[in-house]
Amino acid sequence: MIYYDSPEIIALRKLITSKKKYLATIKVEFAYQQLQKEIMLLEKDILPIVLNNSSVNHSEFARYALTCFDLALTHRCNGLLIYQPIELQYSEQPKIGICNSMANSPYRKPGAVEVFVVNMDGYGVEPMPLNLNAFMP
- Domain range spanning residue 69? 7-74
Q: Identify whether residues 92 and 56 lie together within a single domain.
A: no
In a domain, 1, yes or no: no
Q: Identify whether residues 70 and 19 lie together within a single domain.
A: yes
What band does 6 get if pLDDT is binned at 50, 70 and 90?
confident
Split into its structural domains, the chain has a count of 2
What band does 2 get if pLDDT is binned at 50, 70 and 90?
very low
Domain boundary, last residue among 27, 56, 74 = 74
pTM for this prediction: 0.53
What's the rounded Cα separation, in Å, for the pair 57 and 82? 16
